[in-house]
């Protein structure tokens, strides 16, 4: 006889990162740069990104991943588009980060351009990326 496995018993090796698009604000640009840094450099192999527009448009692959695997939403501002969409379509994220609040807590000014980040702006990217990576580590540690 086979035993059923519950979602609580699954050992996760991947965490989904759901960055906002936030094209109209500089913090939205930061979410994308920081998320890519986590995916490519800080936590490659254990993180994936979920495309928010595709997710909202109803892509079942994106939505089902977020239903099964732990997720971190990364929103540029307090509108929390990524967090609210995830909650509505797939369930509560494991962690939610709001970039504007994180930067304020670290005393970092928001970049001036939403198209191009300067070397000085890299500090903001690094702070956001490190916070995402820290949350990834917490999730994976809890589920090991």
In a domain, 3, yes or no: no
The confidence score (pLDDT) of residue 1 equals: 44
In a domain, 27, yes or no: yes
In a domain, 96, yes or no: yes
The confidence score (pLDDT) of residue 126 equals: 97
In a domain, 4, yes or no: no
The confidence score (pLDDT) of residue 24 equals: 86
How many separate domains does the chain show?
1
In angstroms, the CA 43 to CA 40 distance is 7
In a domain, 68, yes or no: yes
The confidence score (pLDDT) of residue 5 equals: 41
How high is the mean pLDDT in each 10-residue block of the chain (144 residues)? 51 91 89 96 97 95 94 97 96 97 95 84 96 97 85
In angstroms, the CA 96 to CA 74 distance is 6
Contact 11, 144 (CB under 8 A): yes
In a domain, 1, yes or no: no
Domain range for residue 112? 14-142
Predicted model pTM: 0.91
The confidence score (pLDDT) of residue 111 equals: 87
DSSP H or E stretch at residue 71: strand 71-75
In a domain, 53, yes or no: yes
Contact 48, 14 (CB under 8 A): yes
The confidence score (pLDDT) of residue 10 equals: 62
> What residue has token string 């490190």?
130
């Amino acid at each position: 006889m086979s035993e059923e496995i519950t979602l609580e018993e699954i050992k996760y090796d991947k965490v989904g990162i759901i960055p906002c698009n936030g094209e109209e604000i500089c913090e939205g640009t930061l979410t994308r740069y920081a998320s890519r840094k986590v995916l490519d450099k800080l936590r490659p192999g254990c993180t994936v990104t979920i495309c928010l527009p595709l997710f909202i448009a109803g892509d079942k692959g994106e939505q089902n991943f977020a239903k099964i695997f732990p997720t971190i939403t990364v929103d540029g501002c307090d509108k929390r588009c990524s967090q609210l969409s995830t909650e509505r379509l797939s369930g509560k994220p494991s962690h939610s980060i709001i970039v504007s609040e994180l930067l304020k807590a670290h005393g970092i000014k928001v970049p001036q351009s939403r198209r191009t980040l300067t070397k000085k702006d890299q500090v903001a990217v690094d702070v956001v990326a490190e916070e995402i990576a820290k949350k990834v580590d917490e999730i994976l540690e809890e589920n090991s």
